[in-house]
Every structure is written in structure tokens, then in C-alpha cells.
């Protein structure tokens, strides 16, 4: 769910987005999901290559909560992995 929220923030609102995931595998999964989502939107002619680049360039990834110290707004969407 967090990846989808980030896509909306980046694409619709034009915000810089930072995803925090302590696991590199979670970061890679999010990156792949966003790239695949953008490619599907391009195929449907709802997104251009330039817009894909803009969306992806506004998204950053980190494994450290400390990297959010300058954030204006934070959305918590943690996986419930018991």
C-alpha cells in the first residue's frame, strides 16, 4: 500500500517522496513495482517516458528513519509482518 501512496504523491502531487524500508529486498520490490506500473501506464498512453522519468526521479529510498528528519509530512504504511 505504501508504494501506491508514494506513486500518487510523486505523480499526482509532484512531491518528493522518500520510502523507508529496513530491508533492501523491500526497496527493490518497490522499485520494480513502480517501474512496471509506469510501463503499464505508458502502454495505455496515460503516461509518457518523460513523465515516468519525473515520477521515478522524485522518489528516493532509504533504510534509515533518520533520513526523514527534514520531511514535511510522513505517512505510515508498515507491512504487518508478524
Q: What residue spans define the domains of the chain?
A: 2-13+23-68
Q: How far apart are CA 38 and CA 68, in angstroms?
A: 26
Question: At 1, is the pLDDT very low, low, confident or very high (cuts 50, 70, 90)?
Answer: confident
Q: How far apart are CA 33 and CA 41, in angstroms?
A: 12
Q: Which long-range contacts (CB under 8 A, 24 or more apart) does 45-51 make?
A: 47/11, 51/11
Judge whether 34 and 56 are in contact, CB under 8 Å.
yes
- Say if residue 79's pLDDT is above 80: no
Per DSSP, the three-state class of 62 is strand
9-29 pLDDT, tens per residue? 999 999 999 999 999 999 999
30-69 pLDDT, tens per residue? 999 999 999 999 999 999 999 999 999 999 999 999 999 9
Amino acid at each position: 500500500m505504501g508504494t501506491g501512496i508514494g506513486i500518487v504523491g510523486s505523480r499526482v502531487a509532484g512531491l518528493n517522496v522518500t520510502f523507508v524500508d529496513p530491508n533492501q529486498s523491500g526497496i527493490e520490490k518497490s522499485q520494480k513495482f513502480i517501474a512496471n506500473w509506469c510501463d503499464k501506464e505508458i502502454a495505455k498512453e496515460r503516461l509518457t517516458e518523460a513523465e515516468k522519468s519525473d515520477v521515478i526521479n522524485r522518489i528516493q529510498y532509504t533504510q534509515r528513519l533518520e533520513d526523514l528528519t527534514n520531511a514535511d509530512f510522513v505517512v505510515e504504511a508498515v507491512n504487518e509482518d508478524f
